């Protein structure tokens, strides 16, 4: 039996388990299973690795950075981002080798690119937590200049109060990396002057539950293009599967 799974805490619900369980069933992939591993602290991680059937791990909050000291190698994207969400486990007579990847970056890039037009060359990134790391890496890779927008002042960001009509005329790609709008807090959203938005804007929200948060609805109603984070999740999961089977 080949085992795969997700570490994080808590893990009350998981896109990954549903995705892979259905994939194994629908594609008749035998002798594979995907489990949840809600470990209360990262110190419990090595204990999972004693299972010789475990071939691959996905990583979610709060361990995308905390897991790094346990890895033997990291790919270019995860090294640059400083976080991993996918680990391959290779075993041989010499022992085991753990390599970290960031498939969030791949998923975000591949789902954003179809939306981009020549005038989409500057972005506002709402939030500067762990989820923003992969987003900023991809924007740099695509040569899209960006400003980070946060609630608290910092040297590397501007405040929501600084987002005005003039700024929005220039920055036409809007990316929400915060939990604002996520169920059950569906009445929250990044507080920007939505009346200033036009058909030139793109809004991308890493939130996918609900399907259309207020942030996306407001932009859509002004004629802008929108996308939630569900395709990104699908793409990063598919990329994880490719890594585990390469």
> Which residues lie below 8 Å from residue 222, measured CB to CB, with a gap of 6+?
194, 195, 197, 198, 199, 201
Mean pLDDT of 157-182: 97
Which residue blocks in 27-146 are alpha helix, DSSP H?
Answer: 45-48, 76-81, 103-112, 130-141
Give the helix/strand (H/E) hosting 175: strand 173-176
Give me the pLDDT at residue 14, please.
80
Give pLDDT, residue 130.
81
21, with CB counted inside 10 A (0-12, 13-18, 19+), is middle
CATH of region 105-232: 3.40.50.720
Report the CATH fold assignment for 2-101. Answer: Rossmann fold (3.40.50)
The pLDDT of residue 12 is 78
Average pLDDT of the residues in 150-171? 97
> What's the average model confidence in pLDDT over 168-183?
96
**pLDDT (0 to 100) of residue 124:** 98
116: burial class by Cβ within 10 Å (0-12, 13-18, 19+)? middle
Mean pLDDT taken over the chain = 96
Structural contact between residues 57 and 96, judged by C-beta atoms closer than 8 angstroms: no
Q: Does the structure show a pLDDT above 90 at 108?
A: yes
Q: What are the residue numbers of the active site? A: 64
pLDDT (tens digit, 9 = 90+) per residue, 71-101? 999 999 999 999 999 999 999 888 999 999 9
Domain 2-101 identical in fold to domain 105-232: yes
User: What are the φ/ψ torsions at residue 32 (nearest 5 degrees)?
Assistant: -130, 140
Domain boundary assignment for the chain: 2-101, 105-232
């Amino acid at each position: 039996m080949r085992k795969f799974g997700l570490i994080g805490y808590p893990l009350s619900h998981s896109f990954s388990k549903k995705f892979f369980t259905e994939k194994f069933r629908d594609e008749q992939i035998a002798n594979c299973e995907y489990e949840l591993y809600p470990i209360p602290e990262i110190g419990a991680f090595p204990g999972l690795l004693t299972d010789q059937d475990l071939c691959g791990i996905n990583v979610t909050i709060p361990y995308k950075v905390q897991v790094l000291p346990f890895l033997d190698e990291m790919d270019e994207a995860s090294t640059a981002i400083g976080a991993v969400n996918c680990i391959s486990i290779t075993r041989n007579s010499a022992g085991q080798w753990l390599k970290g990847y960031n498939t969030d970056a791949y998923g975000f890039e591949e789902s954003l690119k179809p939306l981009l037009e020549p005038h989409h060359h500057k972005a506002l990134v709402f939030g500067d937590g762990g989820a923003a790391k992969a987003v900023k890496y991809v924007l740099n890779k695509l040569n899209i200049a960006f400003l980070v927008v946060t609630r608290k002042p910092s040297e590397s960001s501007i405040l929501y109060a600084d987002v005005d009509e003039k700024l929005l005329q220039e920055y036409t790609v809007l990316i929400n990396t915060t939990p604002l709008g996520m169920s059950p807090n569906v009445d929250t959203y990044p507080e920007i002057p939505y009346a200033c938005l036009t058909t030139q804007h793109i809004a991308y929200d890493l939130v996918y539950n609900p399907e259309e948060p207020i942030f996306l609805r407001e932009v859509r109603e002004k004629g802008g293009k929108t996308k939630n984070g569900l395709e990104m999740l699908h793409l990063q999961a598919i990329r994880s599967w490719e890594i585990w089977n390469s």
